[in-house]
Amino acid sequence: MLSNILNLQVIHNYHNFPENINTVVTIGTFDGVHVGHRKILDQLISESKKKGLKSVLLTFFPHPRMVIQANNSIKLINTIEERIEILSKTDLDYLVIHPFDKEFSNLGAFDFVRDVLVNQLNVKELVVGYDHRFGKNREGDFEQLKEYSHTFDFNIKEIKAQDINNTAVSSTKIRTALQSGDIKTASEFLTTPFFIHGIVVKGQQLGNTIGFPTANIEIPQVYKLTPKNGAYIVRATHKENIYYGMLNIGNRPTVSGKNKTIEAHLFDFNTDIYGDEIKIEFLQFLRDEQNFKSVDGLKEQLEKDKKDSLDYLQTITSSNAS
């Protein structure tokens, strides 16, 4: 299956890659598409343009750890749809998403290079990090790749250790930052604010009774990471319109809530959007989740949160204008 997102062509399953297109390829899950990933993509795209080839990112879904480690409950920075959205804003030519399953995980290193990279993706150059591992049980390494490149006549562009290590960034570090509420670090590593997509669903509508109506957001993908429980300043996009507001993640202990919820209060917004999709970008952590002695205490804190949010938004608006 092939689809176009802006200039990016998305292909599900490498067997569907078009014939007779010569390529420069890189491989990886690219969760978050962070600054380290972007360095690799920049080199990939630069090499492809220099040599008149098409740039290809071969990625996998589900995440390999979800398949190989059955009990692994890894949460991902991006859903596969969000990864496509981010990559569509680069100059990448093809994103090939191959379904990762037990059968594929048993493909040996030599067979992977021959059957996937050479016979299906027509690789003429491979861009990989110095520590890249591939094939069954990660048996293949850079030295084997060099050997296979002579066998199958393709070049290898190695991204040196210092180039990768100098960024001091990894998807794991970003997940850790988000799970500790460190939105600033996560945003710097990602180069854009961390975001979620969800559907607006009906809640208990308590917010309406205290002057803070909220949009309850349900994320369909259970593997999607959410930041730590607490209150945040956010930017929301609904049908291409942008709004600002504050959002709470947590169990709502003040009203004896039992299930984790995501609730956004958008400023100057009073529209019925039940059933609609909404995008939420996290701009700043406000505070940890609290258990107030009364609903009045909760309302008083929400008033303070709103003031703090508006002050922060005023600050960033002023700095952007100068």
In a domain, 184, yes or no: no
263 lies in the same domain as 304: yes
Is 166's pLDDT higher than 60?
A: no
Q: Which of 140, 171, 202 is the last residue of a domain?
A: 171
CATH number, position 200? 2.40.30.30
- Laid out side by side, the sheet with 8-12 consists of 2-5, 8-12, 94-99, 54-61, 23-27, 123-129, 155-159
219 lies in the same domain as 280: yes
**The pair of three-digit structure tokens given for residue 112, joined into one six-digit string:** 């992977």
Percentage of the chain beyond pLDDT 90 is: 65
133 lies in the same domain as 270: no
> Model confidence at 66, in pLDDT bands (50, 70, 90)?
confident
26 lies in the same domain as 94: yes
Q: Which of 110, 138, 171 is the last residue of a domain?
A: 171
> Model confidence at 321, in pLDDT bands (50, 70, 90)?
low
Is 205's pLDDT higher than 80?
A: no
In a domain, 29, yes or no: yes
200 lies in the same domain as 143: no
| pLDDT score for 253 | 61
Contact of 70 with 201, CB cutoff 8 Å: no
In the chain the first and final C-alpha atoms are separated, in Å, by: 47
142 lies in the same domain as 211: no
Q: Helix, strand or coil for residue 212?
A: coil
In a domain, 63, yes or no: yes
In a domain, 295, yes or no: yes
Any residues with CB less than 8 A from the CB of 259 and at least 6 apart, and which? 251
Q: Which amino acid is at 220?
A: P
Is 258's pLDDT higher than 90?
A: no
In a domain, 42, yes or no: yes
16 lies in the same domain as 163: yes
Is 199's pLDDT higher than 70?
A: yes
Contact of 234 with 246, CB cutoff 8 Å: yes
| pLDDT score for 102 | 87
307 lies in the same domain as 271: yes
In a domain, 58, yes or no: yes
Q: Identify each DSSP E strand in 71-214 by its residue range.
A: 94-99, 123-129, 155-159, 195-201
pLDDT higher at 139 or 241:
241
Torsion (CA) 69, 72, 77, 83 in degrees, nearest 10: 40
Residue 35 domain boundaries: 9-171
pLDDT in tens, 89-103: 999 999 999 999 888
CATH number, position 48? 3.40.50.620
Is 165's pLDDT higher than 90?
A: no
Q: Supply the pTM of this predicted model.
A: 0.88
The DSSP bridge partners found for residue 250 are: 261
pLDDT higher at 142 or 57:
57
Please give the C-alpha separations between residue 232 and each of 44, 164, 166, 182, 262, in angstroms, as whole numbers.
36, 31, 30, 11, 11
Contact of 32 with 115, CB cutoff 8 Å: no
Is 132's pLDDT higher than 60?
A: yes
**The pair of three-digit structure tokens given for residue 2, joined into one six-digit string:** 């092939």
**CA geometry: angle at 184 spanning 178 and 185, to 5°?**
65
131 lies in the same domain as 203: no
pLDDT in tens, 263-302: 999 999 989 999 999 999 999 999 999 888 788 898 999 9
pLDDT higher at 174 or 158:
174
213 lies in the same domain as 69: no
26 lies in the same domain as 155: yes
Q: Which of 138, 171, 204 is the last residue of a domain?
A: 171
132 lies in the same domain as 199: no
Total domain count, the chain: 2
Is 136's pLDDT higher than 90?
A: no
In a domain, 85, yes or no: yes
In a domain, 178, yes or no: no
Any residues with CB less than 8 A from the CB of 165 and at least 6 apart, and which? none
Helices in 126-192 by DSSP H: which ranges?
Answer: 142-152, 161-165, 171-179, 183-190
